[in-house]
């Protein structure tokens, strides 16, 4: 796999910095969109058992014409399959649905506070990695305390934590902990859009500072924000079901923000910026 625009994980593997995500992408269109994304240039495909489109993702990978070894595939175990044996079975099922000989990264989708089995789930994921069934392992939506417990109980650090992160919700304390531990931060909802948002016009896409940079660079507000993620040292997952937006969201590599501009957007952080569930209180 090319190391261009990729990040090194603490186990010495690498992950593309920009990925195409499949959340809320219907099974019926997932194969076509994955194939299109890969032909556009994306090399990271991010799905999950809870997205109900793994079969389409595998089909799109096979139809894309891109060599499998050039593609980094991530899927995730859902909360209802937490526990040691359940996680092993969930991985087998995801691999069957994807129809792939190997999976590059397996993530725990949420810590599932109410089930309180994420340590056992992580132990099963360690086994999958050690047996060579998956390339590397990480988590999503873990807080500092949850990461500390996971590492303390098993001695194994996730290579990555995929979290909600956008200009209005930057999770600076968590990112600093990641940096100290050598854990890569990967952003979901990088544009600050959420399916339950009461007012889409209140997103960072409408922020005056973003619009100023959009005009300065001749780029869309979405491109400015996605480039901000990359220039902040973050991996990020973009998503769209519109072919033109899939292309647009990948056109980030012919410009870069100045350090002062990165800091300017870092100043947009808000105390009330979270859109999705809080891992410390979520009960699903």
Binding residues for substrate: 109
Predicted model pTM:
0.96
Q: Under 8 Å CB-to-CB from 4, ≥6 apart: which residues?
A: none
Which superfamily does 16-266 belong to? NADP-dependent oxidoreductase domain (3.20.20.100)
pLDDT tens, residue by residue, 128-179: 999 999 999 999 999 999 999 999 999 999 999 999 999 999 999 999 999 9
Strand partners, 172: none
Q: How many CB atoms lie within 10 A of CB 86?
A: 18
Active site residue 106: no
Q: How many CB atoms lie within 10 A of CB 169?
A: 22
* Strand pairing report for 235-238 and 184-188: parallel
Distance (Å, whole) CA 17 – CA 38? 14
Helix orientation angle between 243-250 and 221-231, rounded to the nearest 10 degrees: 40
Task: Look at residues 54, 56, 42, 47 and name the one whose alpha carbon lies nearest to residue 6.
Answer: 42
Spell out the domain ranges in the chain: 16-266
pLDDT tens, residue by residue, 208-225: 999 999 999 999 999 999
Distance (Å, whole) CA 237 – CA 221? 16
Which residue among the candidates 20, 42, 51, 106 is catalytic per the annotation?
Answer: 51
8 A C-beta contact, residue 109 and residue 81:
no
Binding residues: 109
């Amino acid at each position: 796999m090319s190391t261009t625009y990729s990040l090194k994980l603490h186990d010495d593997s690498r992950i593309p910095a920009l990925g195409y995500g499949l959340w809320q992408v219907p099974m019926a269109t997932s194969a076509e969109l994955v194939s299109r994304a890969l032909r556009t240039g994306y090399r990271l495909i991010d799905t999950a058992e809870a997205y109900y489109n793994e079969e389409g993702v595998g089909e799109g990978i096979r139809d894309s014409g891109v060599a499998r070894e050039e593609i980094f595939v991530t899927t995730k175990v859902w909360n209802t399959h937490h526990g040691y044996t359940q996680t092993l079975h969930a991985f087998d099922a995801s691999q069957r649905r994807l129809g792939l000989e190997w999976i590059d990264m397996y993530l725990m989708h949420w810590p599932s506070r109410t089930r309180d089995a994420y340590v056992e789930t992580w132990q099963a994921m360690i086994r999958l990695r050690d047996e060579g069934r998956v390339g590397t392992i990480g988590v999503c939506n873990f807080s500092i305390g949850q990461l500390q417990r996971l590492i303390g109980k098993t001695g194994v650090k996730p290579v990555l934590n995929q979290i909600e992160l956008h200009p209005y919700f930057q999770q600076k304390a968590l990112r600093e902990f990641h940096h100290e531990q050598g854990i890569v931060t990967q952003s979901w909802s990088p544009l600050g859009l959420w399916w339950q948002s009461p007012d889409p016009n209140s997103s960072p896409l409408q922020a005056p500072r973003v619009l100023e940079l959009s005009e300065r660079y001749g780029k869309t507000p979405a491109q400015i924000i996605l480039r901000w993620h990359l220039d902040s040292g973050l991996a990020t997952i973009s998503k769209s079901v519109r072919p033109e937006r899939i292309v647009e969201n990948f056109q980030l590599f012919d410009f870069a923000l100045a350090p002062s501009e990165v800091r300017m957007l870092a100043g947009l952080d808000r105390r009330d910026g979270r859109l999705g569930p809080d891992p410390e209180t979520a009960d699903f």
